[in-house]
Amino acid sequence: MTRMKNSPSLSPFFSFFTKLALAIAMVFLAVSPSRAGERAAWMQEARFGVMSHYLADWRARTDGEPASIAHWNELIDNFNVEKLAGQLASVGAKYYLLTIGQNSGYYLAPNATYDKLTGVTSPEQSKCSRRDLISDLQAALAKRGIKLMVYLPSGAPVGDRAAVKALEFQNGPYRNREFQLKWEAVIRDWSLRWGDKVSGWWFDGCYWPNTMYRADDGGPGFATFAAAARAGNPNAALGFNPGVVPRTISMTPHEDYIAGELDKPERWSPMRIAGGRLDGAQVHVLCYLGERWGTGKPRFTGEQVVEFSRKVAEQKGAITWDTPLQKDGTFAPEFVEQLKLVGEALGTAGAAGTVK
C-alpha cells in the first residue's frame, strides 16, 4: 500500500505534536519501566472487576437500529451511570473497565484531536459523543469506591474507511510510524481530559509488537505509547494485549499488568507466577461471561465462574469478567447474580472502604 502523506493543513499541527510527543517520551523513558507493577499494585488488592463492551455497531446489531451520529448520542445520553455503579457496588466489583470505542469509529467521549485528524469541521459531524460518558461514569463509581479503567484498540477504527485513511493506518505487520504519532495524540487528548479519573488503560490488538513498538529507529513505540496514555495520570496502569494467550506473559516493561485475554478459562496456565507478578507485571486475566464478548446469555454456571475466579485469586491475580450491557447501560439480573457469587467467594462483596 502506498504511504499517504499528511494533509498540508495538518502538517504544522503534526510537526508540533511530533516534537511534543518525543519530548514527553524522553521524560518517561528512564522511569516508566522501573515502576512496572507498582502502578497496578491496587489490582492485586482489588481481586475482582468487571468489563463491558458498549459499541455503536454492536448495539446496532442488537437493537436493530442502524448506527448513526444522532442515534449514538441518544444512546450515550440515556446511559444510566448511577444504576450501573450501584450494580457494580452490590456485587463487590472494585474496578470497572469500559470501551471508549473500537472498530466503528464511534466513541463515547469527545476528542477534539480525533475530530481534527479525521476532518470533522462541526460537532454535528463528529462520531465522538457529545456527553463525556467516562467522566460521568467515574463520578458515579467514585462515590462507591470503585475505580474506572478504559479500553481502546492500538489500531485505527478499521470499520471506518475515511478514518483509516486520514490516520494513515495499515492493518498488519507494518511500522505505522505516522499513524502511531497521530494515535498517540488522540490518546493524549483523552488522558489529559480525564486525568486521575482513569486508573488504567487496556490496549487491544498489539498483534505485531516487534514491527510496530520495538523498532530501534528512534520513532514511536511502547515508551511513547505509554507516555501518551499517562499524560494526564502518571500513575495509570497499562496493559497491552497480544490476543488470546493461555499462558500468562508480559509484553513490555512499559506495561504494569498483563492484559490476559482468555476465551477458555480451563486453558489458563499460572506457570512462573510469584507473588501475583510475572516478569515484573501484575497478573491479570480477562474472560467473558456471555456466549461471546459483550453479548449473549451466561455460558457458565455460577459454580464454574467462582471456581476459575478463585484459581486466579490464589495466584494473587486480578480477574475481570466481561459482562454484557443492556441498552440503558445496565446488567441483566442473571449476570448480576453470577457477579455477586464471585464477589462473595473472593470476599469483596459488602466490603467497606476504597481500594487505594
pLDDT in tens, 37-51: 699 999 999 999 999
Is the pLDDT assigned to residue 98 strictly greater than 60?
yes
Closest to 96 in 3D by CA, of 62, 58, 50, 130? 50
| Radius of gyration (C-alpha) of the chain in whole angstroms | 19
Statement: residue 322 has pLDDT above 60: yes
Name the amino acid, one letter, at 322. D
Contact status, residue 325 vs residue 292, Cβ threshold 8 Å: no
User: What is the share, in percent, of the chain residues with pLDDT greater than 70?
Assistant: 88
- The number of residues making up the chain comes to 356
In which element (H, E) is residue 313 found? helix 302-314
Cell of 319: 480477574
Q: CB under 8 Å to 158, separation ≥6 — which residues? A: 103, 164, 169, 171
Which CB contacts under 8 angstroms, 24+ apart, belong to 7-10? Answer: 7/166, 10/116, 10/117
Instruction: Report which DSSP code applies to 299.
Output: -
- Residue 68 has a pLDDT of 95
Bridge partners (DSSP) listed for residue 147: 95
Q: What pLDDT, on the 0 to 100 scale, is given for residue 247?
A: 80
C-alpha cell of 291? 456466549
Is 80 exceeded by the pLDDT of residue 309? yes
The span from the CA of 54 to the CA of 56, in Å, is 7
Angle, helices 177-194 vs 133-142, to 10°: value is 40
Comparing 55-59, 163-167, 253-257, 263-267, which segment has the lowest mean pLDDT?
A: 263-267
Confidence of residue 246 (pLDDT cuts 50, 70, 90): confident
Q: How many CA atoms lie within 13 A of 237 on its CB side?
A: 23
* Cell (9 digits) for 240: 497491552
Segment 71-93 mean pLDDT: 98
Whether the per-residue pLDDT at 2 is higher than 60: the answer is no
Strand segments, DSSP code E, in the chain are 48-52, 95-99, 147-153, 200-204, 237-240, 277-278, 281-282, 284-288, 318-322
How many angstroms separate the CA atoms of 352 and 341, rounded? 17
SS3 198: coil
Instruction: Identify the pLDDT of residue 56.
Output: 97
Task: Tell me the average pLDDT across 59-66.
Answer: 91
How high is the pLDDT of residue 9? 43
Per-residue pLDDT tens over the stretch 171-201:
999 999 999 999 999 999 999 999 999 999 9
- pLDDT for 67 equals 92
- Quick one: average pLDDT of 297-309? 97
Mean pLDDT of the residues in the chain:
90
CB 187 within 8 A of CB 152: yes
Whether 24 has a pLDDT exceeding 90, the answer reads no
Q: Residue 279, exposed/middle/buried by CB under 10 A (0-12, 13-18, 19+)?
A: middle
Give the mean pLDDT of 20-29: 44
Phi-psi group of 316: left, alpha or beta (phi > 0 → left; psi -120 to 50 → alpha; rest → beta): left
Q: Set out the domains of the chain in order of their start, with CATH numbers.
A: 45-346 (3.20.20.80)
- Given a contact cutoff of 8 angstroms between Cβ atoms, the answer to whether 256 and 239 are in contact is yes
Q: How far apart are CA 318 and CA 174, in angstroms?
A: 33
Q: Quote the CA–CA distance of 65 and 218 in Å, as a whole number.
A: 46
239: helix, coil or strand? strand
